[in-house]
């Protein structure tokens, strides 16, 4: 699926810190990646590894006033989003960049019909007014495979199931025809069959529109099914970036390796499920060297002294680990 175009989105050395009473929390610490047109990039990592905060930083919606983007660049079609004014960012959100949140039950306002909320977003595009707008909304609902969209447009969110609500959220997200869509655990709260249908839908939308998707998840099954490339995050840093097959066949970073081992396999019978020893470090008390070193079975002296630089492992496969040198 990946096309060889110039990157639509390029994130360079992004740093988002939180200034709290107890100290500086480095939620995103030097993350770099790029995204081509029509490409799907998976972002995996455990809770608190900075996946969502990376997404919010790209959207320009870092929680205020504690959070602050302290460095880096977010280039969308060559323009640095971090230099934009809040008003310019508001225009970019929804039109060029959009995001689907995890919980469809709370993503829609309970007091308005779904049609109302869809039309509200459609109106944001200049020149999008008048009578045709309702037809556009119905068209969008049928695009996200909602049966009988003419009737459903008058429904309130509570009259719909979780899967259907997430479809509506998807319709609102693509209403402005964005270039990049960030799906932040968009299918986590859906049940397995609905999840599969939703992923299918996202792929179809992507084929139709050439949308680039950043897929944040902790489900390796989804990664294998959806993504072209995968970024693995640990403690606010991107530790490995690889094409999806490469990552599954030969994970380079010890953390990726351990993460893959912790996914249970149906065909094998095991007495104990594998778990990574220890806990991820607190983000305000990161160790000096590699953040994974305290839990890493291969760690040696250098690992606790300095953070590893990027090592090219294979074709467009990079990892931050001293062992690989």
The residue ranges that bind other proteins (CB under 8 A) are 59, 61, 64-65, 90-95, 98-99, 101, 103, 106-112, 120-121, 124, 169, 172-173, 175-176
CA distance 180 to 54: 14
> CB 88 → other proteins: shortest distance, Å?
11
Nearer to other proteins, 91 or 302 (CB): 91
Instruction: Spell out the SS3 assignment of the chain.
Output: CCCCCCEEEEEEEEEEEEEECCEEEEEEEEEEEEEECCCEEEEECCCCCCHHHHHHHHHCCCCCCCEEEEEEEEEECCEEHHHCCHHHHHHHECCCEEEECCCCCCCCCCCCCHHHHHHHHHCCCCCCCCCHHHHHHHHHHHHCCCCCHHHHCCCCHHHCCHHHHHHHHHHHHHCCCCCEEEEECCCCCCCHHHHHHHHHHHHHHHHHHCCEEEEECCCHHHHHHHCCEEEEEECCEEEEEEEHHHHHHCCCCHHHHHHHHCCCCCCCCCCCCCCCCCCCCCCCCCCCCCCCHHHCCCCCHHHHHCCCCEEEEECCEEEECHHHC
Nearer to other proteins, 58 or 223 (CB): 58
Nearer to other proteins, 125 or 203 (CB): 125
> CB 189 → other proteins: shortest distance, Å?
11
> CB 118 → other proteins: shortest distance, Å?
10
Nearer to other proteins, 21 or 272 (CB): 21
> CB 143 → other proteins: shortest distance, Å?
16
Q: Which residues contact 142 (CB under 8 A, 6 or more apart)?
A: 149
> CB 325 → other proteins: shortest distance, Å?
41
> CB 270 → other proteins: shortest distance, Å?
38
Nearer to other proteins, 188 or 310 (CB): 188
CA distance 263 to 44: 13
Nearer to other proteins, 216 or 276 (CB): 216
Q: Which residues contact 204 (CB under 8 A, 6 or more apart)?
A: none
> CB 140 → other proteins: shortest distance, Å?
13
Nearer to other proteins, 107 or 212 (CB): 107
Nearer to other proteins, 94 or 289 (CB): 94
> CB 43 → other proteins: shortest distance, Å?
17
Nearer to other proteins, 36 or 93 (CB): 93
> CB 323 → other proteins: shortest distance, Å?
39
Q: Which residues contact 208 (CB under 8 A, 6 or more apart)?
A: none
């Amino acid at each position: 699926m990946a096309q060889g175009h110039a990157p639509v989105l390029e994130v360079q050395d992004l740093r988002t810190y939180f200034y709290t009473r107890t100290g500086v929390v480095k939620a995103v610490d030097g993350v770099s990646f790029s995204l081509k047109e029509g490409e799907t990039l998976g972002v995996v990592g455990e809770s608190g590894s900075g996946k969502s905060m990376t997404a919010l930083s790209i959207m320009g919606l870092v929680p205020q006033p504690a959070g602050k983007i302290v460095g880096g660049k977010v280039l969308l079609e060559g323009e640095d989003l971090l230099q934009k004014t809040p008003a310019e960012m508001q225009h970019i959100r929804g039109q060029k960049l959009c995001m689907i949140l995890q919980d469809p039950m709370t993503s829609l306002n309970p007091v308005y019909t779904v049609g109302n909320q869809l039309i509200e977003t459609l109106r944001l595009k200049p020149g999008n007014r008048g009578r045709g707008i309702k037809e556009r909304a119905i068209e969008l609902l049928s695009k996200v495979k909602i049966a009988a969209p003419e009737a459903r447009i008058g429904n309130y969110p509570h009259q719909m199931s979780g899967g259907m609500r997430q479809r509506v959220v998807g319709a609102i997200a693509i209403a402005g025809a964005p270039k990049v869509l960030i799906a932040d655990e968009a299918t986590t709260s859906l049940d397995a069959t609905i999840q599969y249908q939703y992923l299918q839908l996202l792929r179809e939308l992507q084929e139709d529109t050439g949308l680039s998707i950043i897929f944040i998840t902790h489900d390796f099954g989804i990664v294998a099914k959806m993504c072209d490339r995968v970024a693995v995050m640990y403690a606010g840093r991107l530790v490995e970036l690889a094409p999806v097959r490469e990552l599954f066949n030969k994970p380079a970073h010890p953390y990726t390796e351990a993460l893959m081992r912790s996914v249970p396999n149906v065909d094998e019978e095991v007495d104990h499920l594998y778990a990574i020893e220890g806990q991820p470090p607190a983000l305000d008390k990161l160790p000096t060297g590699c953040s994974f070193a305290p839990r890493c079975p291969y760690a040696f002296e250098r690992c606790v002294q300095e953070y590893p630089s990027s090592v090219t492992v294979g074709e467009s496969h990079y990892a931050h680990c001293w062992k690989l040198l």
